[in-house]
Chain A
C-alpha cells in the first residue's frame, strides 16, 4: 500500500506546486486539519496561533518576507532560513505540504471575510449586546460557567473564534462539555463538566457552585448541548469581526 500512498502524495504535491491558490482547493479537509495541527505543534511556538507574532510576517494572511511559492514554503518549513531565527525542522515533506495547504486555506478564508474588526468596539459588544460575560470570564470579570477567555487570543485562531460565534456546537473541547443531572425530586442541574467516573459526576453549575453527585442517587444524567447561542443572526458581519478582534487581543493579563 505504501507505493500507492507515496504516489498520491506526489500527485498532491504536484498540484500544490502549480499555484499557491490551488492548495486550499485540492487539499482535503483532513489534510488541512492535519496541517493545522502540525502548524500548532511546530510553528505556533514562534509564529503564534495565527502566525502573526513575528514582525512583518502574517502567515495566516499570506504575508511573508516575499511572495513564496508553495514549494518554497515547503522547503523553508523543512530546512529553515540560514542566518535567521527560522530553524530547520524534522517535519516531513508530506506534512510540510499540509501545513502550507492549511496556511493557504486560512488566508483564503480571511480574504473572503470582508470586515476588519475593531477590538474596542468588540469589547463593548462582548460586555453589552452580546451578553458574553454572562457565561465567560475575561481577566477576572464575568461568569466562570463557560471557558475563561482571558488568553483565548493565544490559544485559538481567528477562524476558530469566528466559527465558535456562528456555530458554537460545531466543536466543543472535551473540557468545555456540559452535563445535566436530574436528582430524585426531579430538579435538573446543568453545568460545565469538571470530571466524572463510574460512580460520581462533578460540575460547575449555573450559580458557579462546585457540585458533586452520586450517579446512583440520580434519576437521569448525561451530556447536554452547549448553552452558547449562535451569533450568526444576532451580530452582523462587522460586529462579529469586532468581537473576534477583541478576542484575538486577549493574550492573558498578569496579576
Chain B
C-alpha cells in the first residue's frame, strides 16, 4: 500500500507539471478542475462540468479570497486556471499568477504600453490564452506577448499593428494548434480591422485577414470611395474554434464613422458580421452580416457560442448569437446559413428578415440632429459580456438590457437625451447611486430555447448589467451586474439561490475550477477578483 500511495503521489505531481497541449485546450471539458481558455472551452459555452456547488447548497457559498488589482480600470478579464495556478490580467496589461486556492501571488509581469495607445472604452483586457508553458496576451498598444507561465518572463513580443494608427488589442487570444490568433480593436477610430495568426514558438506572423476587403477582393464594392481604408470593423472579443471544420469564428465591430454612414455607402462588409476563417490559412470560408450599413454602432463582437443541438427535429451544428442590435440568431456554423433570427428586446430599426436572413430596415431610424428614438440604444441589448450554453438544459443564457431606447444625434458621437439617459452609461469600476424608476431600463438574465429563441425564464435586476454568465453541470448559473452583486440562480428555473455584495460593478464573466477537491467560482468586480467556495467539508 505504501508503494501504491507513493506512485499515486508521483503521478499526481507529474500531472501538476504537465504542459498544456493543444489537445488539452481542445478537450478542456475532460479536466473540469481547469479553465484553459476565455470561455473554458473553444466553443465558448462557458459551461463548467463541476458539480460540487448545487442548487441545494449554493446558499452556503463563502468568500475564500480576494485579490485587489493595482488598477483603476474596469476588470474585464476572465482568469485561466491550470492545475492550481490562476492567471489573470491587471488592466491594462500586467499578467499575474496566483495560487488558485489562496489568491497569493506567484509573480507579476508588467507591460508598459506605448504612450500612443488609445482605446475607445477603457484601457482594458479580457484575458489570456495558454499553450505549453506559455501565456499569450494582446496589449492596448497592439502587441502580442508570449510570457513564460512559470517565471513570468517575456519570451517574445510581436507588434501586430500600429498603436499610433489607433490599433489596440483588448480581447483574449485564441490558440489553435501551433498558432495564436488575435484581432485588433480601434474600429471607432478609423482602423481597418485585422485578425492575425502567429507561430506560438516564434511570434512570427503566419496569416492575416483584413475584416474590410481591399480593392479587387470580393466585398470591397460595399464601401464607397476610399472609405474601406478607415472603415473600422474591429475585432475585440474572443473567437471560437470548431475542430470538425477547422474554422475559427470572429465577431466584427461597427463600421466607422460610427453614427454617420454617408461617407461609406454600401453594406460595409465585413463589419457587424461573423466571419468564419480557416484556422491554417486565414481564408474566409463564409460570413453573415448581422447589421448591413450600420449607423447605430451595433458591434457584433459578442463571443460566438457553438453548440450541437436538435433543431427542428434534426441534429444541427449551430452558432448561437445574442447581438448588440437586439436580435438573437441561430446560424449553421458549417455553412453560415441563417436558420432563425428574432428580436429579444424592443427593436425598432428593423422589421423582419428576407429569405436570406437580411434584416429589413425601418426607414428613418438613423441618427439625426433632432433626435430619433432608436431601440435598442447606443450600447445595445447586450454588448461584449460572454453568455453561456448548457448542454444539460439545452438553454442559451444571456445577460442583457431591457426597455432601452436612445435619442441620438448626428455627428461623431451620440448624445443620448430625453429618455433613459442614465442607462447609456458604460460599465464603470465603482458603484454609483441609482435612481431609475421601475419603467426605465433594467437588466435581466434570461434563458432562451435555441429552437424558438423564446425565453423560458427571466431573472430581473434593477440596473442594467455588463456581467457575463456561467452555467455548471449541477445546473447552477452564476452572473453579476452593475449593482455590484454576484449571484447564483437555478439554471432550470431562474430562482435566486445566493448572492454576495462585491462592492464594485461586475464587468466580467464568471468561471469555475477546483483545487484540492473544492470547487471555486470567481468573479471580477470593481478592481478585484473574488473567489467563492462551499465551506470545507461540505
Write the residues of chain A forming the contact surface with B, with a CB cutoff of 8 angstroms. Answer: 1-2, 5, 9, 30-31, 34, 37, 92, 94-95, 174-175, 177, 193-199, 222-223
Q: Is the CB of B485 within 8 A of A198?
A: yes
Most buried by B among A1, A2, A174, A197: A197
CB within 8 Å for A195 and B433 given contacts A1-B363, A92-B369 = yes
Separation of A1 and B363 alpha carbons in the complex (Å): 7
Q: Is the CB of A175 within 8 A of B369?
A: no
Most buried by B among A30, A198, A222: A198
Separation of A11 and B166 alpha carbons in the complex (Å): 41
Instruction: Please pick, from A31, A197, A198, the residue contacting B370 in the complex, using a CB distance under 8 A.
Output: A31
Q: Does B463 contact A (CB under 8 A)?
A: yes
Q: Does B371 contact A (CB under 8 A)?
A: yes
Closest-CB distance, A78 to chain B (whole angstroms): 14
CB within 8 Å for A5 and B435 given contacts A34-B417, A197-B485 = no
Count A/B pairs, Cβ under 8 Å.
55
Interface residues as binary, B432-470 with A (CB distance below 8 Å gives 1, 0 otherwise) = 011111100000000000000000000011110000000
Q: Is the CB of B434 within 8 A of A30?
A: no
Separation of A176 and B505 alpha carbons in the complex (Å): 24
Instruction: Please pick, from B262, B435, B462, the residue contacting A177 in the complex, using a CB distance under 8 A.
Output: B435
Separation of A150 and B364 alpha carbons in the complex (Å): 44
Contacts of B316 in A (CB 8 A): none
Contacts A/B (CB < 8 Å), 9 sampled: A1-B366, A9-B369, A34-B371, A177-B435, A196-B435, A197-B483, A198-B462, A198-B463, A222-B438
Q: CB-nearest residue of chain B relative to A223?
A: B437
Separation of A194 and B434 alpha carbons in the complex (Å): 7
Within 8 A of A (CB), among B326-341: none
Q: Does B368 contact A (CB under 8 A)?
A: yes
Separation of A193 and B262 alpha carbons in the complex (Å): 44
Q: Is the CB of B370 within 8 A of A174?
A: no
Q: Is the CB of A5 within 8 A of B463?
A: no
Q: Is the CB of B371 within 8 A of A30?
A: yes
Q: Is the CB of A5 within 8 A of B483?
A: no
Q: Is the CB of A174 within 8 A of B368?
A: no
Closest-CB distance, A51 to chain B (whole angstroms): 21
Contacts of A197 in B (CB 8 A): 434, 461-463, 483-485
CB within 8 Å for A198 and B437 given contacts A37-B417, A174-B422 = no
Contacts of A199 in B (CB 8 A): 485, 499
Instruction: Please pick, from B262, B410, B461, the residue contacting A198 in the complex, using a CB distance under 8 A.
Output: B461
Contacts of A177 in B (CB 8 A): 435, 437
Q: CB-nearest residue of chain B relative to A90?
A: B411
Instruction: Please pick, from A95, A196, A198, A223, the residue contacting B369 in the complex, using a CB distance under 8 A.
Output: A95
Separation of A222 and B462 alpha carbons in the complex (Å): 13
Contacts of B364 in A (CB 8 A): 1
Contacts of A198 in B (CB 8 A): 460-463, 483, 485
Q: CB-nearest residue of chain A relative to B417?
A: A37
Q: Is the CB of A30 within 8 A of B435?
A: no
CB within 8 Å for A30 and B370 given contacts A1-B363, A197-B462 = yes
Contacts of A94 in B (CB 8 A): 369-370
Q: CB-nearest residue of chain A relative to B262?
A: A2
Q: CB-nearest residue of chain B relative to A222?
A: B438
Within 8 A of A (CB), among B291-340: none
Closest-CB distance, B453 to chain A (whole angstroms): 26
Separation of A195 and B432 alpha carbons in the complex (Å): 8
Separation of A1 and B368 alpha carbons in the complex (Å): 10
Contacts of A31 in B (CB 8 A): 370
Contacts of B417 in A (CB 8 A): 34, 37
Closest-CB distance, B424 to chain A (whole angstroms): 14
CB within 8 Å for A175 and B433 given contacts A94-B370, A196-B462 = yes
Q: Is the CB of B485 within 8 A of A34?
A: no
12 further contact pairs, Cβ within 8 A, besides A198-B463, A198-B485: A2-B262, A34-B371, A92-B369, A94-B370, A174-B435, A193-B435, A195-B433, A195-B434, A196-B435, A198-B461, A199-B485, A223-B437
Contacts of B483 in A (CB 8 A): 197-198
Q: Is the CB of B485 within 8 A of A5?
A: no
Contacts of B484 in A (CB 8 A): 197
Q: CB-nearest residue of chain B relative to A94?
A: B369
Separation of A252 and B295 alpha carbons in the complex (Å): 43
Contacts of B461 in A (CB 8 A): 197-198
Contacts of A223 in B (CB 8 A): 437-438
Separation of A175 and B483 alpha carbons in the complex (Å): 17
Separation of A28 and B368 alpha carbons in the complex (Å): 16
Closest-CB distance, B350 to chain A (whole angstroms): 15
Contacts of B462 in A (CB 8 A): 196-198
Separation of A22 and B376 alpha carbons in the complex (Å): 37
Interface residues as binary, B404-442 with A (CB distance below 8 Å gives 1, 0 otherwise) = 000000110000010000100000000001111110000
Closest-CB distance, B360 to chain A (whole angstroms): 15
Separation of A228 and B406 alpha carbons in the complex (Å): 30
Contacts of B435 in A (CB 8 A): 174-175, 177, 193, 195-196
Separation of A236 and B96 alpha carbons in the complex (Å): 69
Separation of A198 and B487 alpha carbons in the complex (Å): 11
Contacts of A175 in B (CB 8 A): 433, 435
Separation of A92 and B409 alpha carbons in the complex (Å): 11
* List of 6 A-B pairs having minimum Cβ-Cβ separation, nearest first: A174-B435, A197-B483, A195-B433, A1-B364, A94-B369, A198-B462
Separation of A210 and B249 alpha carbons in the complex (Å): 52
Q: CB-nearest residue of chain A relative to B410?
A: A92
Instruction: Please pick, from A5, A194, A195, A222, the residue contacting B368 in the complex, using a CB distance under 8 A.
Output: A5
Separation of A197 and B486 alpha carbons in the complex (Å): 13
Separation of A9 and B434 alpha carbons in the complex (Å): 38
Separation of A34 and B409 alpha carbons in the complex (Å): 11
Q: Is the CB of A5 within 8 A of B370?
A: yes
Within 8 A of A (CB), among B41-55: none
Contacts of A2 in B (CB 8 A): 262, 366, 368
